[in-house]
Amino acid sequence: MTYEIQPAGSHYIDGAYVEDTAGAEIPVIYAATGERIATLHAATPAIVEQALVAAEKAQAEWAKLSPRERGRVLTHAAAIMRERNHDLSVLETYDTGKPLQETLVADATSGSDALEYFGGLAASLTGEHIPLGEDWVYTIREPLGVCVGIGAWNYPTQIACWKAAPALACGNAMVFKPSETTPLCALKVAEILTEAGAPAGLFNVVQGMGEVGASLVTDSRVAKVSLTGSVPTGRKVYAAAADGMKHVTMELGGKSPMLVFDDADIDNAVGGAILGNFYSSGQICSNGTRVFVQKGIKEAFLARLNERLKDAVIGDPLDEATSFGPMVSEQQMTIVQGFIEKGVAEGARLVAGGKRIDRDGWYLEPTVFADVTDDMTIAREEIFGPVMSVLDFDTEEEAIARANATEYGLSAGVFTSDLSRGHRVIGQLRAGSCFINSYNDAPVEAPFGGVKMSGVGRENSKAAIEHWSQMKSVYVRMGDVEAPF
Ligand code: NDP
């Protein structure tokens, strides 16, 4: 890799790296070995101020450009990112511990897809003309202003790009706070945007824990907050943003159902369940962690799943043959171990995995519980680790009702060879991002986001534009004004 892991500064503000060692130390730990690979510092109030001032100044200039000119910068950034995919993927692996086999195809590539898509869309973002007889109204699509992005630790490059790309396309500037667990990758996104021609200050990165995020959310210069994180954090950030009447996008957690009917292609259903539970060691918000399998194929499903689990290559994430890596941190591993213990204690049948792997780093075995019931902790709470719960069901109506009996509503999937059933069932599942005979695809062209406690707003697709811009309407009277006196 040509990148140094230790960045030139902890923060990226006004087009350059900035350091302030007065901020609390943020150690960056490589999840595969437990070693410290870099040291950064949390933003002090002075750093946060610098970032907001830079963003405000850049936004005023950026909004004056034609949307086509803005789009050109984003598509150029997409091309640079794609060209450097290998180095960015290695850095993503160091930041998160995810296997290179995944990061090469799911992180900088997804980030550049977003930059390319919204770069291309920029020039077609318009208002409309509304005829009213002689008079008329026209609408102008305007930026919101300075926006804040706050990221989770599972997809640091992708989250930064999914927020920055539509925000900048609409004429906004952004201050982005990565998770303190994975602070490295967003800095590269900032560097690349500058190189692609974005004005200094348009996309700034400040490091820190929750309080840095909170200080951004409550600042009166900030017009919008987009958070990717857990429901408890979402509640706090949403409430703080509401106090300032700010726009929000909330991409929060889930406990999504995957329904496998008797007539499903078993290998595809097992493949979907593997993708939806073990990719990124299960650290994906939209995962289908409640796998409802119809009783007729339950044992066949479990047998095939067990066979395919033997093909997992667990090892060094930098080896491209590795298909299953460590958890992001010791803390996350400990949380997940606690859920596994609860699963056993509450009577679920452990059919695979369940243990820490005897090697350096934070590795847990891919774990499967069968005979899980709806009331068990592992069926109710988001685990965010490699733990699949298999539940069985008799009828379609029952499966739908049980799938919906959760406070979450991020994703849902159905495996069946009866397409009318596929559409009928998906139509009744209360979730935002759904799949038929597939799981966890997230192309930038499709809206992504949840219902109920899983979130507010949508990322990606044309739908995101509504969340990063606002409409001004202008009434134009062609005749005289009629006043009562
Ligand atoms: P957290 O909710 O713990 O943190 C998310 C971000 O918010 C972090 O950068 C965190 O900072 C910051 N933060 C914490 N408290 C505050 C606050 N009071 N004000 C402002 N910012 C704050 O989530 P995790 O990082 O643990 O990520 C896992 C969660 O993210 C899971 O629930 C998962 O489902 C969800 N997620 C949702 C996705 C979606 O698109 N729907 C995608 C990916 C993950 P720090 O941690 O540095 O202190």
Higher pLDDT, 285 or 2: 285
Please indicate whether residue 251 is annotated as part of the active site. yes
Q: What is the pLDDT of residue 272?
A: 98
For residue 364, pLDDT beyond 90: yes
Ligand 1 pocket test, pick from 26, 48, 228, 251 with the greatest ligand atom count within 8 Å of Cβ, gives 228
Nearest-CA residue for atom 23 of ligand 1? 229
**Please, which contacts does 344-351 make with residues 24 or more away whose CB atoms are closer than 8 Å?**
346/376, 346/377, 346/378, 347/371, 347/376, 348/372, 348/373, 348/376, 348/378, 348/389, 351/302, 351/306, 351/390
Residue 44: both structure tokens together = 């002090």
Phi/psi for 324 (5° steps) reads -150, 120
Look at residue 383 in the predicted model and tell me its pLDDT. 98
148, pLDDT greater than 80: yes
Tell me how far the alpha carbon of residue 248 lies from the centroid of ligand 1, in angstroms: 14
- Which atom of ligand 1 is nearest the CA belonging to 454? 41
Q: Which is nearest to 117 in space by CA: 446, 434, 450?
A: 446
Give residue 197's pLDDT. Answer: 98
Measured in Å, residue 405 CA sits from the centre of ligand 1 at 24
pLDDT single digits (tens) 406-458:
999 999 999 999 999 999 999 999 999 999 999 999 999 999 999 999 999 99
Quick check: 2 pLDDT over 90?
no
**Per-residue CA distances from 140 to 120, 175, 470 (Å):** 19, 25, 8
Query: What are the tens digits of pLDDT across the range 27-37?
Result: 999 999 999 99
| CA dihedral angle for residue 72, residue 444, residue 458, residue 429, rounded to 10 degrees | 170
Q: Which atom of ligand 1 is nearest to the CA of 155?
A: 43
Res 3: pLDDT = 86
Residue 358 CB contacts under 8 Å (≥ 6 apart), including other chains: none
CB-CB contact of 99 with 323 (8 Å): yes
Q: What are 132's strand-pairing partners?
A: 135
User: So what's the pLDDT on residue 1?
Assistant: 66
3-state secondary structure of 139: strand
CA gap 458, 467 in Å, rounded? 7
Which domains are present in the chain? 11-253+454-472 (3.40.605.10), 257-436 (3.40.309.10)
Catalytic residue (one of 251, 365, 382, 459): 251
Spatial distance between the Cα atoms of 450 and 469, rounded to a whole number of angstroms: 20
Specify the pairing of strand 247-251 against strand 455-456: antiparallel
CA of 50 to the centre of ligand 1 (A): 24
Cβ–Cβ < 8 Å for 104, 98: no
Distances (CA, A) of 150 to 15, 156, 164, 297: 19, 10, 11, 42
Residues 6+ apart with CB under 8 A from 107: 88, 89, 92, 98, 155, 156, 157, 158, 185
Asked if the model's pLDDT at residue 278 lies above 70, the reply is yes
Nearest to 219 by CA among 409, 51, 15, 31: 51
Does the pTM surpass 0.95? The reply is yes
Mean pLDDT of the chain: 98
